[in-house]
Amino acid sequence: MTDDHDTDASEAADAAPDAPRSARVPDALAGRRFDAVLAELFPEYSRSRLSAWVKSGDVLLDGATVRPREAVRAGQEVVLTATLEPQVSAGPEDIPLSVLYEDAEVLVIDKPAGLVVHPGAGNHTGTLVNALLFRDPAIAAVPRAGIVHRLDKDTSGVMVVARTLQAQAALVAQLSAREVHRQYLAVVVGALVSGGTVSEPIDRHPRDRLRMAVREDGREATTHYRLQERFRAHTALECRLETGRTHQIRVHMAHLRHPIVGDPLYGGPLKLPRGASDELATALRGFKRQALHAQVLEFVHPATGEPVRCEAPLPDDLQALLRELRTDAAAHAVTGTGARR
């Protein structure tokens, strides 16, 4: 999986605990397998990690090592003694972050366009992960430096990062249950007349490995969209993700034949309104990234259970593009001129 996409973490986080933890087997779990009981007692850790700790002797039952399938009795003491180990190999870098919300459990940032989320091929430094490690060195103990969902390199906007293993597991569970509200602003080609829903499966393009595509054998993907503002040959849409597939909004809009302005992979040829001013033509030609911004993120706080809502303001380049589109629409409101290539 590449790091240049908008997607969710696919499984709960794995990491070692920061100190020995203990629990008693409750009556309700008596007679069940040891590994199944552990998953109930320590839900913040994945089953595969817990099973590995049992086999390595890092989890004890009444002071002794036992097999994962061993049946337990009510009242027995479980002690988890695995030692903390770094989960991220990247190094810290002093990269400024725009923070929208922060506490001991989570960090919500406004990611700028151009910032890669995670180190990968060709992007070993200068990433969001490097910035997070500088801001909070302890986050190195959390898998993927606490990242539970990603944005494309050139998509701007709001992202939540978990600062603890427990917070990461809770946020991943919310994403998997589709309980996180993710709202985007997209400027697309074409003057749409109504909103709608795209429910088309997405997977890797059969020939171009850099692209995704709508495919019958792909993974379920659903995007809801509604009109926010219409221009002569473009539309600003509010898009809401129900799933989080790679490049999902970009692929779905292109599938509707309304690709996102500036999208280098799915955008197609430049389209100018008839009689467009030099300023608008320059703005459209000069917009070299997808005009897509993660505007709103809502989730349940993993520790308090309270709702958290964060909104990222529109970046300057997107505001400038919208201003030119509005100016063009107003100037041609009487003439009713359309679009030209």
| The amino acid at 129 | V
Helix, strand and coil percent figures for the chain, each rounded to 5:
25, 25, 50
Supply the DSSP string of 11-63, one letter for each residue: S------SS-EEEE--GGGTTSBHHHHHHHH-TTS-HHHHHHHHHHT-EEETT
pTM score: 0.77
Spatial separation of the C-alpha atoms in residues 235 and 232, rounded to whole Å: 8
184 or 44: which carries more pLDDT confidence? 184
Residue 152 bears catalytic tag: yes
Tens digits of residue pLDDT in 269-312: 888 999 999 999 999 999 999 999 999 999 999 999 999 999 99
pLDDT score of 19: 56
Share of the chain above pLDDT 90, in %: 67
Question: What is the enclosing helix (H) or strand (E) of 294?
Answer: strand 292-300
Of these ranges, 63-77, 116-130, 245-259, the one predicted with the greatest mean pLDDT is 245-259
Residues 6+ apart with CB under 8 A from 250: 152, 212, 259, 260, 263, 265, 266, 290, 292
Which tens digits make up the pLDDT trace of 88-98? 667 899 999 99
Provide the strand spans (E) within 190-274.
Answer: 196-199, 202-204, 212-214, 222-230, 234-241, 272-273
Q: What is the pLDDT of residue 339?
A: 52
Active-site pick, 3, 4, 8, 152:
152
Confidence of residue 210 (pLDDT cuts 50, 70, 90): confident
Above 70 in pLDDT, residue 165? yes
